[in-house]
């Protein structure tokens, strides 16, 4: 086990990790770039999709309120739950789910994701398509990625457009807002 001590959104946070986690020594720069672009507000309903040890969702809970935050991952959610307690937001909702396969919650203002980079695009496709359906009209989805072309095309096809922020370290934060209940289907 290792402990990360950091500051996000002006809050001192600590995260317990282990070597099986993504970025176990420090909060990933991509995640920090994602959070910097999130514009999370008090009362927003937030989903940290693929939460890992919970850094993004727990940081958001400090602003939006713990009851408004949902953290999900396919495994290791025990660390996210422990880190929520460690950081004084034990009321966040922590769910084990393979994407949206065992996750029924809807009505999100914001979905944040740092998807697995070294997998085929089927995981990201599921996250984007099913996540779109979980957003309210006006709700936003933000992904941080290193491979821009496919993600940019997919976000545009589903949302009708995407804003791309180029960040340090070869990262891109993509942001789209849901304007209608139907996919845009723009190819």
Judge whether residue 119 has pLDDT over 90. no
Whether residue 170 is predicted with pLDDT greater than 90 in this model: the reply is yes
CB 27 within 8 A of CB 15: yes
What percent of the chain shows pLDDT beyond 90? Answer: 83
- Rounded Cα distance between 138 and 32, Å, is 23
SS (H, E, C) the chain: CEEEEEEECCEEEEEEECCCCCCCCCCCHHHHHHHHCCCCCCCCCEEEECCCCCHHHHHHHHHHCHHHEEEEECCCHHHHHHHHHHCCCCCCEEEECCCCCCCCCCCEEEEEECCCCCCCCHHHHHHHHHHHHHEEEEEEEEEEECCHHHHHHHHHHHHCCCEEEECHHHCEEEEEECCCCCCCCCC
Give per-residue pLDDT as tens, 88-102.
999 999 999 999 999
When pLDDT is cut at 50, 70 and 90, the band that residue 186 belongs to is low
Give the model's pLDDT for residue 24.
60
Domains of the chain and any CATH numbers: 29-177 (3.40.50.150)
pLDDT exceeds cutoff 60 at 77: yes
What would the pLDDT profile of 15-47 be if each residue is shown by its tens digit?
998 887 777 687 899 999 999 999 999 999 999
β partners of residue 85: none
pLDDT averaged over the chain? 93
**pLDDT tens per residue across span 130-139:** 999 999 999 9
Closest CA relative to residue 108, chosen from 148, 170, 57, 169? 57
The pLDDT of residue 179 is: 96
Tell me: pLDDT of 187 over 60: no
Q: Please tell me the distance from the alpha carbon of residue 16 to that of residue 87, in angstroms, as a whole number.
A: 11
Quote the pLDDT of residue 145.
95
- Distance, CA of 2 to CA of 45 (rounded, Å): 30
pLDDT value at 67 more than 60: yes
Q: Which of 158, 162, 166, 148 is nearest to 184 (CA)?
A: 158
| Encoded tokens for 97 | 């789910």
Pairing relationship of beta strands 2-8 and 11-17 according to DSSP bridges? antiparallel
């Amino acid at each position: 086990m290792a402990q990360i001590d950091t500051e996000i959104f002006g809050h001192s946070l600590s995260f317990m990790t282990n070597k099986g986690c993504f970025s176990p020594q420090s909060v990933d720069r991509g995640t920090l770039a994602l959070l910097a672009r999130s514009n999370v507000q008090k009362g927003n309903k937030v989903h940290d999709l693929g939460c890992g040890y919970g850094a993004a969702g727990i940081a958001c809970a400090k602003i939006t309120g713990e009851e408004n935050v949902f953290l999900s991952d396919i495994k290791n959610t025990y660390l996210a739950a422990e880190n929520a307690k460690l950081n004084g937001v034990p009321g966040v909702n922590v769910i084990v789910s393979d994407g949206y396969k065992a996750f029924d919650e809807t009505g999100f203002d914001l979905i944040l994701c740092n998807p697995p980079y070294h997998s085929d695009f089927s995981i990201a496709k599921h996250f984007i398509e099913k996540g779109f359906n979980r957003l309210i009209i006006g709700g936003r989805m933000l992904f941080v990625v290193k491979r821009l072309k496919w993600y940019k095309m997919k976000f545009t096809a589903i949302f009708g457009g995407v804003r791309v922020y180029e960040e340090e370290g070869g990262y891109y934060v993509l942001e789209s807002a849901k304007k209608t209940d139907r996919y845009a289907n723009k190819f």
